[in-house]
Structure 1
Amino acid sequence: MKRVLVSVKSVQRDMDGKDLDGVKTTIKIHDDSIVLLRTGAVNMRHQYVRGEERESVYETPYGDLHMAVNTHELTVDFHEGVGHVHLGYDISVEGEWQFYNQLDIDVREDTEHGNEGNPEIGD
Structure 2
Amino acid sequence: MKKDVLVSVLGTQTNDVGEKDTIHLITEGKMFKKPTSYYIVYNESEISGMEGTTTTLKVEPHRVTLNRMGSSEFKQTFEEGVLHQGVYHTPFGSMHLGVIPSKVDVALDDQGGSINLIYELQADQRKLSDNSLLITVKEEKRFQ
- Displacement of 1:62 in angstroms is 4.4
Q: Which of 1 and 2 has higher RCO (CA within 8 Å, sep 6+)?
A: 1
Q: Which has the larger displacement, 9-18 or 56-65?
A: 9-18
Unaligned runs of 5+ in 1: 117-123
In the alignment, does 2:96 pair up with 1:66? yes
For residues 57-96 of structure 1, what are the structure 2 equivalents within 5 Å? 57-96=87-126
**Per-residue CA distance 1:1-52 (angstroms, 9 max, x = gap):** 4433222211111276873233222222111111111222221100000111
Q: Which amino acid aligns with 1:98?
A: L
- Residue 12 of structure 2 is matched in structure 1 by 11
Unaligned runs of 5+ in 2: 24-47
* Count of residues in Structure 1 that have an aligned counterpart in Structure 2: 114
Larger Rg: 1
- Residue 107 of structure 1 is matched in structure 2 by 137
Q: RMSD across aligned C-alpha pairs, in angstroms?
A: 2.3
In the alignment, does 2:51 pair up with 1:39? no
Q: After TM superposition, what 4+ stretches of structure 1 lie above 4 angstroms from structure 2?
A: 15-18
Change (3 A) 1:79 1:19: closer
Q: Which has the higher strand share?
A: 2
- In the alignment, the residues of structure 1 paired with residue 107 and residue 116 of structure 2 have an alpha-carbon distance, to the nearest angstrom, of 9
TM-score by length of 1: 0.78
For residues 12-27 of structure 1, what are the structure 2 equivalents within 5 Å? 12-14=13-15, 19-27=49-57
SS at match of 2:88: strand
